[in-house]
Structure 1
Amino acid sequence: MSDQHEHWQRTYRTHPGVYGEQPSEAAVYAADLFRERGAVEVLELGAGHGRDAIYLARRGFRVTATDFSAVGLAQLRDWADAAGLSARVTTLEHDVRQPIPLPYRSVDAVYAHMLLCMNLSTQELRDLVAEIRRVLKPGGAFVYTVRNTDDAHFGTGKALGDDIYEHGGFAVHFFSEALVDSLAAGWELRDRHSFEEGELPRRLWRVTQLLPSR
């Protein structure tokens, strides 16, 4: 078990529902976009204890929620059961450094809030985006959020290389504009929206990229 895996297991175990019950602003945006584009099957990567997965299910999507924390996913399943949404939510324990365990062109949209800016190298991110492209149907949408190089923590803390810095046990890959552009190669990069969230405040980008219809 990696240090980051154990850190997240411990976080969810010690602080159940750590991020609360309200969806992130990014999830609200994604739900509107996905509905506008006629999506039904949504894959969420890094779903944690489920605040955004539950919201997406309530909006009428069928959600496959993945995370590498079994503790977080157990909380998500309990929440889905209590909310009467278990038929709309499927959970998969999955490390995004491995192939996504879904078939080719099996989902209409992919969503990831603060997942791509975890302790993932640039090459691992490229491999992940290639996997996302594989499971997305033509014309599918991918919405993700990441901390960026304008964030106050960028360049501070323990340097792990590749613009990754560790603070309080959390390793963060801070995204540059060049990294966003490189990950969108072969996609339509529709939007890179700046916003703030949480303490400091954290500086983030919400990125929307679309697959060609053919």
Structure 2
Amino acid sequence: MANLLKFLIQFEFFFYGILAVVLFIYLRKLFATYRQWKLAYFGLEKELAQAEFNQNLTVVIISLLMAAGLFVLTVIVAPSVPGVQTLATPTVNTTSQPSVEMTAPSAATIPSATTTGFIATLEAAYGQGCVPDQINWTEPRSGSTISGTVILKGTVNVTSLGYYKYEFSPVGDETWTTVAAGNQPVQNDALGGSWDTSNMTPGDYLLRLVVTDSKNQEYPPCTIQIKITAPADR
């Protein structure tokens, strides 16, 4: 299922193009045969025009159903299937030499030690990019150790929620793998689905919660670091 969805996502515009061409051709035929049927005087002529009209109408309906099915699979079903959407973080170009203009910061732009310490404390407790009571993790917390099958809990409570998903990536890796997704607000409760870590390589991982609004605009991801250990019975 996951491989099929990846294939459809990769070539979805190609399929849409083919369906659009088919619809254009058979809609023209449909209107032409309709005019023939209206202008026909003899019974046999009307029957032939009616049969051709029905054939063209069938092709149009099937093409529309295929386009609708492709849309449902790539836009609605795919985000909720684990492992379908693997996002690569863009590679930073380290060969360029940008010019940097050094300016002395004013006193107003220098963060105080108190402010810096408060932000660091929040990030340590909730994770980077997390907002308490809006987008944050409840279980596990940043720095936690997990093993086996776990139920991930958190909060997704934003205005005009579109959908959310949670993903993992080994620390130092640049790819993210989707575990599960949902489209209903959650308040300190299960985010949907379970995560089986039994067959994963033990080590440090990043876990992030990605929330998108109804206009397909992403909020800053809520990212925490966790450690995965092998189950005790292994």
**What interval of TM-score do these two structures reach, taking the shorter chain for normalisation?**
under 0.3
- Of structures 1 and 2, the larger Rg is shown by 2
Give the alignment's TM-score, normalised by structure 2.
0.21
TM-score by length of 1: 0.22
